[in-house]
Each structure stands twice: as C-alpha cells, then as structure tokens.
Amino acid sequence: MTVAPPLELSDVTKEYDGGGELVRALVDVDLRVDRGEFVSVVGPSGSGKSTMLNTLGLLDVPTTGTVRVDGRDATTMTDPERTDARKEYVGFVFQQFFLIPSLTALENVLLPTEFHDDPGADERAQALLERVGLGDRLDHTPNELSGGQKQRVAIARALVNDPAVVLADEPTGNLDQETGQTVLGEFERITDRDVAVVTVTHDPLVADYADRTVRLVDGRLTEEGGVGGRASQGDGADRPLSEGDG
C-alpha cells in the first residue's frame, strides 16, 4: 500500500527536564495510525500516554525521531504550519471536555472554524450534532447538558474540520460506565467514516471497541493482541525510564 497514513511516529523519543532530572517520556516509539482505525493506548500513569498523544497531535515536538502527517515531516514545520496541520488533520477530545461555557453547543462545535472562511461550517456543525444525538440541544449551553452530552458536543467539535484522526485523552474518564459506552459507540461510528481514532485511557472498556490496543510502559510501546497494525516493541526493553545522563 502506497497511501501515506494520516499520522505516523517513527523512532520517536521525547525527553524533558523534570525538576533537574532527565525524564524520558517516550523511547523509540513507532506507531502508524491508518484511516478508519480505532487504536487504544493503555498503560499505567506516567507511562508517557499523554506525551504520545500530544506528539501525535502536533502539540509537542519529539526530541528525536519523526512525526509524519499524511507523509509530511511535521518536526521541521514552523509553529503556524503545525497549527494549520492540526486544523486540517487532527481533532481533539479531552477528559474535561473543555467546552466554552458562554457558548451554545452549536457555537462550541463551530469554534474551530471561526477564524477562517468556511461557508459550509454551519450546516456541517448542525449535521454533526444531529449525528451524535443532540439535534434538539443546539442552543443549550454546556451547563445545561449532562457529562455524556458535553462529551458528544466535544466529539462533534473534533469532527467539524473533517480531520483524518481524532485523538482522545481519557474520553470516558469523567463519565459513568453507561455514558462512556455511548461515547465509545460514537467513536466506533466515526471510524466507519474512515476517520481514525486514537484514545489513551485507563478504561478497560475501551479495548472492547478498539481495533487494536497498544501498551505503553515506561515510554516504550508494545502491541497487545488485537489485529493488524505494526507497533514496535522497541529494543532493549529493560532500560529504565530515566537514565541520569543529562
């Protein structure tokens, strides 16, 4: 297959200074996210899950290695270029929803389209809210919505710019199990439309919905059953998380 994957990490290492000590949050990570794929990233706290998601989402730059967006190297992009690439390829869903309280559901969904000319945005946003079952809540503000409804607004917001990948950080973390399941069902439907979903989560339930699950331990990625994919198992898996060489 010659089609470039929407997002790809190659040999990515991320180090940062954690209070005078060099922390290696990601070590030689390879991950390829294909269209329509639902990837679940699991792992204990502090294993580098969020760092990986931020790197995938072009919010963070790796110390070494390459991040490719649709085949283009994102590590050499300028900040505005990365911002534009985020708008084009990536949608975000957060544990805390991060909806703007003074805006209605529809306005929140439209937020990513506000700063550029996008004539079809209004219809698209409405259609998305209808798709996630909130067609009758367009003019409700976030505090008039339940947690599950808020997260569905956030999903609609993540999809409004037609991204190739939706990145979700603990999307079910603030929801009860039943509501979490409806949200995961939503993600599953997204993948049917050829949009990839990557979640990082503690929630074991997510694995039931994911096409494949990868595990991050001490910044190293290992494939955990599932189908397809080509996650790296890394080499020298016995190396400790931080090696005081900085």
- Binding interface with another protein (CB under 8 A): 54, 57, 59-60, 79-80, 83-84, 86-88, 90-92, 94, 96, 98, 100-103, 110-115, 118-119, 121-122, 157-158, 161
> For residues 90 and 231, which CB has a smaller minimum distance to another protein in the complex?
90
Contacts of 47 (CB under 8 A, 6+ apart): 216, 217, 218, 219
Q: How far is the CB of 190 from another protein (least distance, A)?
A: 16
CB of 239 to another protein, least distance (A): 25
Our CB check for another protein shows the closer of 32 and 157 to be: 157
Q: Which CB sits closer to another protein, 113 or 232?
A: 113
- Closest contact distance (angstroms) between CB of 86 and another protein is 4
Which of residues 174 and 222 has its CB atom nearest to another protein in the complex?
Answer: 174
Find the shortest distance in angstroms from Cβ 101 to another protein: 7
Contact yes or no for 66/11 (Cβ under 8 A)? yes
